[in-house]
């Protein structure tokens, strides 16, 4: 065993205790004890964590994903995924209490600060809140709070009072007039928190109204969601409902369903709007009871992909769902949401999905699908899968 692995082993013990203690109940005690006694692939986490710690610091090289040969896709802070890597470091620190991860998270987080002025993107929450937001909750550094508020002010400039939504993308202007994607629900947390920090109601109102507009227009009768809804900025009418990353316009793109579940559960947390909670419950039912959900609860990249079961899985969607289900359980106390989350976490903790020890990349989980229509980031590790997986473990640890 190397010196590095000797240093990391206490962290490994903590994580094993955290995860299995959290998932343990009276009916499953024997099963849990048996799992701990086996050669458990959670031991891979120690190596995976150390690879995140050792990844070279570079302000324009946030690790986003890796291909099958282990080549890392590196992106600058303007990329929508930049906040997930520092966010994962913050999460690992919270899980392990190892200050090395806190210190490295601080070093990476500072590189994102300039994005607080980037008004060309809706992804302010993914970038700034996953990094500075988590950091502020841990460090209580007022400089972090200022970045969050400034970022919320920038994001608010993309809100259209006629459409009553935040514009998602600026590209494809020849096709879309005012596109809003289901993913945008995830960026509302930044606005809700900024409203608390600044005592400015504006950010809260924008976030709440965006959630109401999306609730009205994004969902089908079976409670699956469209990916993109394009609005007319003059009449506020709907021009089209299409997909950009799913199999087809009427298909149920797995990560889109995950964003909806997580987003409406989170929106309920801030607003106590029962319509948001009810929508989260409806999405959860769609996911839990779907006839094309695999036995291990890790969905295929699109529920309507034509070659199931010979289609790629999407671990990132599963991780988002697991984290969202834990919060939904907190609001409802309905055990089926917690049971479903536990099932996903157990599956993701298996050898099938944890990256093997000999693969030296700064990621934890394999088999995510990024953008299938563009054949981009298919069936490999992606930073946001790790982030929401770690969040799910942390939420499970702290669940009361």
| Active-site residue flag, 183 | yes
Q: At what angle do helices 274-288 and 335-348 cross, to 10 degrees?
A: 50
**Which residues on adjacent β-strands are paired with residue 62?**
75
What SS3 class is residue 364? coil
Peptide bond before 309: cis, by omega within 30 degrees of 0?
A: yes
Indicate which residue of 47, 79, 98, 183 is catalytic: 183
| Active-site residue flag, 296 | no
Rounded Cα distance between 198 and 240, Å, is 36
327-334 contacts, C-beta under 8 A, 24 or more apart = 327/262, 327/265, 327/266, 327/269, 327/395, 328/261, 328/265, 328/280, 328/281, 328/284, 329/399, 330/399, 331/265, 331/268, 331/269, 331/277, 332/277, 332/281
Secondary structure string (H, E, C) spanning 205-269: HHHHHHHHHHHHHCECCCCCECCEEEECCCCCCEEEEECCCCCCCCCCEHHHHHHHHHHHHHHHH
Closest C-alpha among 314, 316, 330 to residue 385 = 316
CB of 340 within 8 A of CB of 319? no
Indicate which residue of 79, 123, 230, 366 is catalytic: 123
Helix boundaries (H) for the chain: 3-23, 29-37, 44-54, 84-96, 99-109, 124, 134-139, 142-156, 188-198, 201-217, 254-271, 274-288, 315-332, 335-348, 383-398
Active site residues: 123, 183
């Amino acid at each position: 065993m190397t010196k590095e692995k000797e240093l990391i082993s206490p962290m490994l013990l903590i994580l094993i205790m955290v995860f299995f203690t959290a998932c343990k109940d009276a009916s499953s005690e024997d099963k849990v004890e048996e799992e701990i006694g086996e050669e458990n692939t959670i031991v891979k986490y120690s190596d995976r964590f150390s690879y995140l710690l050792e990844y070279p610091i570079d302000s324009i090289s946030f690790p986003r994903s890796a291909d099958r040969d282990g080549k890392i896709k590196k992106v600058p802070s303007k990329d929508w995924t930049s906040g997930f890597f520092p966010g994962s470091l913050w999460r690992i620190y919270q899980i392990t209490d190892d200050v090395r991860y806190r210190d490295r998270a601080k070093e990476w987080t500072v590189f994102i600060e300039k994005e607080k002025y980037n008004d060309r993107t809706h992804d302010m929450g993914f970038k700034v809140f996953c990094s500075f937001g988590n950091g502020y909750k841990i460090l209580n550094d007022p400089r972090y709070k200022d970045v969050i508020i400034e970022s919320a002010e920038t994001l608010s400039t993309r809100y259209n009072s006629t459409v009553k939504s935040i514009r998602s993308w600026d590209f494809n202007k020849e096709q879309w007039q005012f596109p809003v994607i289901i993913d945008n629900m995830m960026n509302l947390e930044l606005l809700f928190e900024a409203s608390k920090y600044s005592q400015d109601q504006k950010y809260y109102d924008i976030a709440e109204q965006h959630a109401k507009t999306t609730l009205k227009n994004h969902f089908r009768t079976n409670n699956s969601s469209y990916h993109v809804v394009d609005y007319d900025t003059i009449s506020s009418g709907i021009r089209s409902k299409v997909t950009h990353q799913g199999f087809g316009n009427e298909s149920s793109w797995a990560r889109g369903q995950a964003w909806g579940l997580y987003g409406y559960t989170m929106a309920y947390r801030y607003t106590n709007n029962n319509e948001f909670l009810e929508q989260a419950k409806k999405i959860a039912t769609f996911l839990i009871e779907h006839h094309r959900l695999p036995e291990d609860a890790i969905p295929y990249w699109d529920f309507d992909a034509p070659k199931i079961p010979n289609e790629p899985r999407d671990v990132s969607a599963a991780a988002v769902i697991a984290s969202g289900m834990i919060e939904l359980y907190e609001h409802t106390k309905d055990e089926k949401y917690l049971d479903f989350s536990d099932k996903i976490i157990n599956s993701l903790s298996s050898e099938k999905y944890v990256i093997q020890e000999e693969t030296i990349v700064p990621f934890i989980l394999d088999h995510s699908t990024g953008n299938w229509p563009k054949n981009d980031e298919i069936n490999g590790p992606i930073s946001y899968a790790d982030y929401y997986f770690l969040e799910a473990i942390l939420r499970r640890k702290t669940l009361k």
